[in-house]
Amino acid sequence: MRRGKFITVEGIDGAGKSSHLEFLCARVRAKGHGVLLTREPGGTPIGEQLRKMVLHQPMPAVAEALLMFGARSLHVNDVIEPALEAGTWVICDRFSDSSFAYQCGGRGLDTHVVANLEALVHPALQPDATYLFDVDPATAYERQRKEGRSPDVFEREQVAFFERVREAYLERSRQQLYRFHIIDASGTPEMVRSILAAEFERTFA
Ligand code: TYD
């Protein structure tokens, strides 16, 4: 059985990534592979409970990181690895790059802390491809305001926070060029979709 591919989707809040996840799944299926769509924080029953806590209760960055990686440990062991082993492709809405971007870039946690947690929790697993939806934080903020949902602890942050999150994502992408694909997410959903489709086909030609 050929191992499945592990694809992650990242970006600042309001970048619009979530609206393209089903589309990505359809592209994988069109290639003849089974696909599992999952998300972080979350993806397991305990992980979903941790999600509720971490998104709605302000806490120190180190506590945030530990809860994210606690949830991630269960997710990798119980869901992601078994699926990949069985040949299923996994598309994950956020993964450890979010911890580097939000807990380190946004909150100021030392990157060594998150690098150590990453090495502890998934020493042998990295995404085969990461689609980073990149947009300037002012545009993302406007999009979110229009959605009108009640904001979680991250969505309540100011534009300066998301500038730092964005920069941390871009820095990480420069360090791991082989797997990062930067998607210009400033255009209409149709424009973004066609960029994503072309990039996906290039990755998995
Ligand atoms: P998100 O996935 O954007 O969900 P929704 O679209 O329902 O708001 O929200 C999850 C939030 O969690 C997002 O603001 C980023 C944050 N986050 C971290 O800070 N660190 C992490 O490791 C992960 C996975 C997410």
Question: Looking at ligand 1, which residue's alpha carbon is closest to its atom 17?
Answer: 98
Residues pairing with 6 in the sheet: 90
Average pLDDT over residues 38-59: 97
3-state secondary structure of 91: strand
Query: Is the distance from the beta carbon of residue 180 to the nearest atom of ligand 1 less than 6 Å?
Result: no
Per cent of the chain over pLDDT 70 is: 100
**Predicted confidence band at 22 (pLDDT cuts at 50, 70, 90)?**
very high
**Cα gap 105→167, rounded to integer Å:** 7
**Would you state the pLDDT for residue 80?**
98
pTM beyond 0.95: the answer is yes
Contact 39, 93 (CB under 8 A): yes
pLDDT digit string (tens) for 100-127? 999 999 999 999 999 999 999 999 999 9
Q: Taking residues 30-41, what's their average pLDDT?
A: 98
Nearest CA owner, ligand 1 atom 9: 13
| Residue 117 pLDDT | 98
pLDDT confidence tier of residue 149, bands split at 50, 70 and 90? confident
Average pLDDT, integer, range 127-142? 96
- As a whole number, mean pLDDT of residues 47-53 equals 98
Q: Is the CB of 98 under 6 A from ligand 1?
A: yes
77 lines ligand 1 (CB under 6 A): no
- Token readout for 61 is 């960055």
Residue 192 has pLDDT above 90, yes or no: yes
Ligand 1 atom closest to Cα of 40? 24
3-state secondary structure of 9: strand
Residue 148, pLDDT > 90, answer no
Residue with tokens 């807990």: 103
Please give the distance, rounded to the nearest whole angstrom, from the Cα atom of residue 165 to the centre of ligand 1. 12
CB 122 within 8 A of CB 77: no
Please give the distance, rounded to the nearest whole angstrom, from the Cα atom of residue 41 to the centre of ligand 1: 6
> Is the confidence at residue 146, as pLDDT, over 90?
no
> What is the 8-class DSSP label of residue 153?
T
Look at residue 50 and tell me whether its pLDDT is greater than 90: yes
Residue 36's pLDDT is 98
Per-residue burial over 99-113, b = 16 or more CB atoms within 10 Å of its CB, e = otherwise: bbbbbbbbbebebeb
Query: Measured in angstroms, how far is the CA atom of residue 117 from the centroid of ligand 1?
Result: 18
